[in-house]
Amino acid sequence: MAWLERSDFYTAPASTRFHGNYKGGLLEHSMNVYDTLSGIVSRYPEMHITPETVAVTALFHDICKANFYVTSTRNVKDEATGQWHKEPFYKTDDRLPLGHGEKSVIILQSFIKLTRDEIYAIRWHMGSWDSAAKGGDPSISKAFEICPLAVMTHMADMEATYLIEGQAKHLI
């Protein structure tokens, strides 16, 4: 908790251009993933996934984004007036380049002991969007086969990102 308090986890954006690209977006996204994952897990009581595992996995799957974004400015032309002005935007400043899911696992493991399922779920929460999966690494398929929580976490992350936080919410 002390590390979280010193980080920008509560105020950081969730991304630079997509979902949650505003102050507090990372926390909002993490809470949305938690709510969604809780719902998915509740449909499979026979899997005995604990509330603690749901909380750790969902709330910290993107902890790699803490202390990852910085605010900068760029010149933008106002089409109506033709005048240029500076506009703030978020950009990445990766001072710990270890990947995405794996970076979250590494950060968390320095503070708490994760279960094997929590490791799989956090490591592979990006699904086929993960760079290793896009590069042809078959590990994701094996992780999804042996760890239902990994599949559920990916589903919760996608639902939160695209249906709760994304453009689709404006269509409802």
Q: Look at the chain and report how many structural domains it folds into.
A: 1
Along the 172 residues of the chain, how does pLDDT read in single tens digits? 899 999 999 999 998 887 888 999 999 999 999 999 999 999 999 999 999 999 999 999 999 999 999 999 999 999 999 999 999 889 989 998 898 999 999 999 999 999 999 999 999 998 877 777 778 788 889 999 999 999 999 999 999 999 999 854 444 4
Q: Is the pTM of this model over 0.85?
A: yes
Instruction: Spell out a b/e string for 42-65, using b for 16 or more CB atoms within 10 Å of the CB, else e.
Output: eeeeeeebeeebbebbbbbbbbbb
> What domain range is 144 assigned to?
2-171
- 68, 43 Cβ separation under 8 angstroms: no
